[in-house]
Chain A
Amino acid sequence: MAEGGAAVRARDLTRIFGTFVAVDHLNFEIPLGAVWGFLGPNGAGKSTTIRMLCGILSPSSGEAEVLGYDVARDPEQVKLRIGYMSQRFSLYNDLTAEENLMFYAGVYGLSRAEGRELASQWIARAGLRGRERVLAGELSGGWKQRLALGCAVLHHPQMVFLDEPTSGVDPVSRREFWDLIGQFAESGVTVMVTTHYMDEAEHCDTLAIIFGGRIIAMGPPEEIKREKMSGELLEIATPQYAEALDVLTTLPEVREAALFGRAIHVAVADSRTALPLLRQALANRGVTVDRIAPVPPSLEDVFVELVERSDGPAEPAASPGRRP
């Protein structure tokens, strides 16, 4: 067992593909029993990191320990103790829900009786009752996802790695899924989960924001929002958002202006002094403003700010996905 109560310990963990640095000197520790989130856009290095921690991808340099075992030297010891769920929900579509669970139970060395018992428990817990004999390929996204999670955790691993477990799943299923993750954490399982959904990241005890292979912020979500957001945030509702953005980006008071849902979020140093100035500037250019008010920053605002600040690729398209 890991000394000092850390489930994962990464030191300068790096992975290079050819000339592309996918993961760049990551240093972090995941305490036992934590729900640790890894937030970042696609291609930021989340999956690469998880694969290295699971012992299926060797680090180019640096090292990592999972549950006290070095991932490069003892990958099989790590594999005995973890569960892994990939974003592809690696189920056998031609096997039923129950057969999928039983198969993974066997692969983790459980007996048929144990497997049957645990499979039936999971089926009850994940609300799959009545669908035990449905082929996995015929299940809808949310069921598949919960089944895939079952396959990854049926053997009661000490630690679970979930790589974008909620991609392509409807909001209700995502909520139910996070309830399941919450249940694990309560039973003492350490969870490392990657996501590019900002709202999900708020469920984590600790969050690491990764961008361009580097961690650009780390800490509890509230703390990140409080500390990493310099200045304040104004939300502007307008039907003419394109014109409004044009105006706003020219103003010296505006640090950052970005579309946020159906409104514009503007980062300013001080909202009280900036608000009248902005209202005036928009009115001068004939932009109608329905509402303009200070708002608390969301993770997405923090993320946009952090990405702008870091010298990563200045490409707004790489900003994290918003909920559809």
Chain B
Amino acid sequence: MNLRRLTSIIRKELIQILRDRRTLVTIISLPIMQLILYGYLSNDVTHIPAAVFDESRTPESRTLLDAFENTTYVDLRYYTTGFEQVHRLIDGGDAKIGIWIPPDYAARLRSGRTAQVEVIVDASEPTSARSVLALSTQVGQELSTQLIVQETQRLSGTRPNALPVDVRPRAWYNPTLENVNFIVPGVIAIVLMFVTTFQAIVVIVRERELGTMEQLVVTPITGLELILGKVIPLVALAYVQITLTLFLASVWFHVPIKGNLALLYVLSLTFFFSTLGVGALISTVSKTFQQAAQMTQLILLPSILISGFIFPRESLPRALQVIGNVLPLTYFVIILRGILIKGIGLEYLWRQILPMAVIGVAVFAIAINRFQKRID
């Protein structure tokens, strides 16, 4: 490898990247826009509009409704005077939940019988429906427990000191179970993969489409020098992007950075090289930008779905898990979540680095090997 040839490629690429302001602005703002978009999409389900039909109109029924509202997941937005109205509000999408408290609710409670409450959920969108269902069960149980404790106290005159079984779940790493903490590191990984792969393709295929590749292959430059020279400036660009997205994640979405940021930056290098290598490989086997773009779709889409970015890897069929093992993204998602949310270090993460480095070296070797200094 000739250092002069390598640096002249790097210098030329840098000039081209910095001179094309419009593209530069696009590739820098793209990760930011994506992150904001996904970050907000991942907002936890709160303030779901509810329609109430309270036929009881008693302090007891009020206590129940307060219990719902106190969760902040539910907004008691409509108080109706008939079940028909509840029905219409849910049909029209104005309310996602209907709560019907029968007229004998308070009477039954006072007489020690079970009082029924109906909670209707619009389950056409399962995610929020699932949380509402869980929530209403929880509200009911808590209220019941409270009532039983009061009743026991009234009958025996003593206060029971404990419930028979007391399960105390603890949510580690993300105690408030914020979706954003799960989604944002994944989005950072996806966006970085997308931008790096695509940029690598652009800078290589562009030479071919402009005809400058024909000129380059007549020079003594080697495939290694050319591909490395094109990739190194993109690594620098990727670091700008990861810095911006991390900054945004931390300042805007309050995603914690519990682990060692320096370690994250070092480990990112392996990821960048592997995704840039994939881009280089794609561009050496495709003749036109069109072909390269199609091939990229073929790789990016499955990456997003099976990398564990959205769907937990454990829920995937075995075959897809195996495919996921050769995707750099899979490992980087774990690294990002590990360092940002769990605050773990190299003692666990070496298991991700090794395969990612192997993938990176392999795709680079194939890309350089496939790069022919011929035009036939």
Q: Is the beta-carbon distance between B220 and A88 smaller than 8 angstroms?
A: no
Q: Is the beta-carbon distance between B15 and A110 smaller than 8 angstroms?
A: no
Q: Is the beta-carbon distance between B4 and A56 smaller than 8 angstroms?
A: no
Contacts of B373 in A (CB 8 A): 55-56, 75-76, 79
Q: Is the beta-carbon distance between B375 and A102 smaller than 8 angstroms?
A: no
Verify if A202 is at the interface (C-beta below 8 Å from B).
no
Q: Is the beta-carbon distance between B218 and A102 smaller than 8 angstroms?
A: no
Residues facing B in A76-101 (CB within 8 A) are 76, 79-80, 82, 84, 86, 88, 90-95, 99
Q: Is the beta-carbon distance between A107 and B211 smaller than 8 angstroms?
A: no
Verify if A105 is at the interface (C-beta below 8 Å from B).
yes
Q: Is the beta-carbon distance between B8 and A84 smaller than 8 angstroms?
A: no
Docked Cα-Cα span, A107 to B12, in Å, equals 10
Known A-B contacts A58-B374, A90-B214; A76 and B220 likewise in contact (beta carbons under 8 Å): yes
Q: Is the beta-carbon distance between A107 and B9 smaller than 8 angstroms?
A: yes
Q: Is the beta-carbon distance between A84 and B4 smaller than 8 angstroms?
A: no
Contacts of A80 in B (CB 8 A): 220
**Candidates A84, A103, A110, A111; contact of B218 at CB < 8 Å:** A84
**Candidates B12, B212, B216, B220; contact of A99 at CB < 8 Å:** B12
Contacts of B212 in A (CB 8 A): 90-92
Q: Is the beta-carbon distance between A90 and B11 smaller than 8 angstroms?
A: no
Docked Cα-Cα span, A76 to B163, in Å, equals 83
**Candidates A75, A84, A94; contact of B215 at CB < 8 Å:** A84
Q: Is the beta-carbon distance between A109 and B5 smaller than 8 angstroms?
A: yes
Contacts of A75 in B (CB 8 A): 373-374
Known A-B contacts A92-B12, A94-B19; A108 and B217 likewise in contact (beta carbons under 8 Å): no
- Residue on A nearest B17 in the bound complex, by CB: A94
Q: Is the beta-carbon distance between B4 and A99 smaller than 8 angstroms?
A: no
Contacts of B12 in A (CB 8 A): 92, 95, 99, 103, 106
**Candidates B5, B16, B374, B375; contact of A107 at CB < 8 Å:** B5
Nearest-Cβ distance from residue A106 to partner chain B, whole angstroms: 2
Docked Cα-Cα span, A82 to B220, in Å, equals 10
Q: Is the beta-carbon distance between A56 and B19 smaller than 8 angstroms?
A: no
Q: Is the beta-carbon distance between B9 and A99 smaller than 8 angstroms?
A: no
Contacts of B16 in A (CB 8 A): 92, 94-95
Residues facing A in B1-36 (CB within 8 A) are 2, 4-5, 7-9, 11-12, 15-16, 19-20
Verify if B221 is at the interface (C-beta below 8 Å from A).
yes
Interface range, A side: 20 to 34
Contacts of B374 in A (CB 8 A): 55-58, 75
Q: Is the beta-carbon distance between B376 and A107 smaller than 8 angstroms?
A: no
Contacts of B176 in A (CB 8 A): none
Residues facing A in B201-233 (CB within 8 A) are 210-212, 214-221
Q: Is the beta-carbon distance between B210 and A90 smaller than 8 angstroms?
A: yes
Q: Is the beta-carbon distance between B221 and A107 smaller than 8 angstroms?
A: yes
Docked Cα-Cα span, A92 to B215, in Å, equals 11
Known A-B contacts A95-B12, A103-B11; A56 and B214 likewise in contact (beta carbons under 8 Å): yes
Verify if A8 is at the interface (C-beta below 8 Å from B).
no
**Candidates A105, A107, A111; contact of B220 at CB < 8 Å:** A107
Verify if A104 is at the interface (C-beta below 8 Å from B).
yes
Please indicate which of the listed interface residues B20, B215, B216, B217 has the most CB atoms of chain A within 10 Å of its own CB.
B215
Nearest-Cβ distance from residue A129 to partner chain B, whole angstroms: 22
Contacts of B215 in A (CB 8 A): 84, 86, 90, 151
Q: Is the beta-carbon distance between B4 and A79 smaller than 8 angstroms?
A: no
Residues facing B in A201-234 (CB within 8 A) are none
Q: Is the beta-carbon distance between A51 and B5 smaller than 8 angstroms?
A: no
Q: Is the beta-carbon distance between B8 and A106 smaller than 8 angstroms?
A: yes
Docked Cα-Cα span, A76 to B212, in Å, equals 18
Q: Is the beta-carbon distance between A108 and B220 smaller than 8 angstroms?
A: yes
Docked Cα-Cα span, A91 to B12, in Å, equals 12
Verify if A54 is at the interface (C-beta below 8 Å from B).
yes
**Candidates B2, B11, B19, B375; contact of A109 at CB < 8 Å:** B2
Contacts of A108 in B (CB 8 A): 5, 219-220
Q: Is the beta-carbon distance between B214 and A107 smaller than 8 angstroms?
A: no
Known A-B contacts A86-B211, A92-B16; A103 and B8 likewise in contact (beta carbons under 8 Å): yes
Nearest-Cβ distance from residue B320 to partner chain A, whole angstroms: 42
Contacts of B8 in A (CB 8 A): 102-103, 105-107
Contacts of A95 in B (CB 8 A): 12, 15-16, 19
Docked Cα-Cα span, A151 to B373, in Å, equals 19
Contacts of A93 in B (CB 8 A): 210
Docked Cα-Cα span, A80 to B2, in Å, equals 13
**Candidates A56, A104, A110; contact of B217 at CB < 8 Å:** A56
- Residue on A nearest B2 in the bound complex, by CB: A109
**Candidates A90, A92, A109; contact of B4 at CB < 8 Å:** A109
- Residue on B nearest A78 in the bound complex, by CB: B218
Chain B 239-265 near chain A by CB (<8 Å), digits 1 or 0: 000000000000000000000000000
Q: Is the beta-carbon distance between B11 and A106 smaller than 8 angstroms?
A: yes
Docked Cα-Cα span, A110 to B214, in Å, equals 20
Docked Cα-Cα span, A75 to B222, in Å, equals 12
Docked Cα-Cα span, A94 to B16, in Å, equals 7
| Beyond known contacts A86-B214, A110-B4: 20 more, CB 8 A cutoff | A55-B218, A55-B374, A56-B217, A56-B373, A57-B375, A58-B374, A76-B373, A79-B373, A82-B218, A86-B211, A88-B214, A90-B211, A94-B16, A94-B19, A95-B12, A95-B16, A104-B219, A106-B11, A109-B5, A111-B4
Closest 3 CB pairs of A and B: A106-B8, A90-B215, A84-B218
For this complex, 7 residue pairs linking A to B, each with C-beta atoms less than 8 Å apart, are A56-B376, A84-B215, A90-B210, A94-B15, A95-B15, A106-B8, A109-B2
Interface set of A (CB-CB < 8 Å, partner B):
51, 54-58, 75-76, 79-80, 82, 84, 86, 88, 90-95, 99, 102-111, 151
